Structure 1
Amino acid sequence: MSETNVVKQTKHAPYYLVREDILPEALLKTLQIKESIARGEFATVGEAAEKVGLSRSAYYKYKDGIFPLNLLERERIVTVSIDLEHRSGVLSRVLGLVAAFEGNVLTIHQTIPLQGLANVVLSVETNAADTLNPLMEALRAEDGVKRAAIIGQG
């Protein structure tokens, strides 16, 4: 199988729920490295890989394909398109609302205002599915927001 075929097949590959005790050691060590780096125990992947006894190349091979189940359940990325009036403080209040609903802004793209309106597209990481609808309602009710819509979810 060529490398191109592998990339195409894994781009939208299905997920499986697998018990920890049947996972290969390399996958378990990859999770250990990811968790220790997230906790700040190591500054580099090389240090963490050496500590757990896994090669850096094996870590990089598996790191984007294995996640603790609790992370997959909690995190969700949504893309929101918002039309804002071109007034001071409107975008700041929108970002404050996202934070108030425990959202984490990953990216912001804003167009140049035309006819008094600017479009802003936010990629937002949300921790709970039940906060998305209240957040959207709050955005739509915010002074200076003319339109707010979800244009993508992941």
Structure 2
Amino acid sequence: MNPLGKGQFYLVREDVLTESMQKMLEAKRLLASGEERTIQEATKRVGLSRSAYYKYRDTVFPFESIARERILTIFIQLEDRQGSLATILQIISDARCNVLTIHQTIPVQGRANITLSLDVTEMPIKMDEFMQRMKAPNFIDSVHLISSGAL
């Protein structure tokens, strides 16, 4: 009998995981990123047996993969140009973010403000890279992170 109870969860540092568990997590990452297409290819690349992969795949997860949805709110100041909002939304879509709310002010003297709330749960890039992409168009004056966090 398990004194801790079946189905109990623990948060542990990576360095205390067995080598097989660490390799299984790397194989999962390779599959999720598309670097490898099959479990056989991924396990071979990391030096892990498929049986060990199957043993741990449904019980060991990176912390980020079990975190709840992440919400990001950003404030953008921009030059009002035709198609600017469409460009911003394309950047967001390319980063696999989901727009939850959007508010755009009426342009005054050729400038407008946009406040966006985004679900960034599926975003595969780091936050600093995402912010750089948002600042890249030449009509953007500034992009500010207002808040971020879990639901």
> What TM-score do you get using the length of structure 1 for normalisation?
0.52
Q: 1:147 to 1:20 in 2, by over 3 A?
A: farther
Q: Residue 85 of structure 1 contacts residue 144 of structure 1 at CA under 8 Å; is this kept in 2? A: yes
Q: 1:152 to 1:82 in 2, by over 3 A?
A: same
Q: 68, 77, 85: which is aligned to 1:83?
A: 77
Secondary structure of the corresponding residue to residue 145 of structure 2: strand
Given the alignment of the two structures, is residue 21 of structure 1 paired with residue 16 of structure 2, yes or no? Answer: no
Indicate the residue corresponding to 2:46 in structure 1.
none
Indicate the residue corresponding to 2:134 in structure 1.
139
Given the alignment of the two structures, is residue 148 of structure 1 paired with residue 134 of structure 2, yes or no? Answer: no
In 1: Cα distance, 2:5 partner to 2:137 partner: 46
- In the TM superposition, what whole-angstrom CA distance separates every residue of 1:52-82 from its partner, at most 9, and x where no partner exists? xxxxxxxxxxxxxxxxx84525x31100000
Q: What is the total number of aligned residue pairs between the two structures?
A: 91
Indicate the residue corresponding to 2:67 in structure 1.
72
Q: What is the identity percentage for the equivalent residue pairs of Structure 1 and Structure 2? A: 34
Q: Which runs of 5+ in 1 are unaligned?
A: 1-17, 23-68
- In the TM superposition, what whole-angstrom CA distance separates every residue of 1:6-52 from its partner, at most 9, and x where no partner exists? xxxxxxxxxxxx97636xxxxxxxxxxxxxxxxxxxxxxxxxxxxxx
Aligned-pair CA distance for 1:102: 1.0
Indicate the residue corresponding to 1:116 in structure 2.
110
In 2: Cα distance, 1:146 partner to 1:98 partner: 17
In 2: Cα distance, 1:113 partner to 1:19 partner: 59
Secondary structure of the corresponding residue to residue 95 of structure 1: helix
CA RMSD of aligned residues (A): 2.6
Indicate the residue corresponding to 1:99 in structure 2.
93
Aligned-pair CA distance for 1:94: 0.4
In 2: Cα distance, 1:113 partner to 1:145 partner: 14
Q: Which runs of 5+ in 2 are unaligned?
A: 9-63
> What TM-score do you get using the length of structure 2 for normalisation?
0.53
Q: Residue 101 of structure 1 contacts residue 131 of structure 1 at CA under 8 Å; is this kept in 2? A: no
Indicate the residue corresponding to 2:52 in structure 1.
none
In 1: Cα distance, 2:92 partner to 2:70 partner: 14
Aligned-pair CA distance for 1:134: 1.1
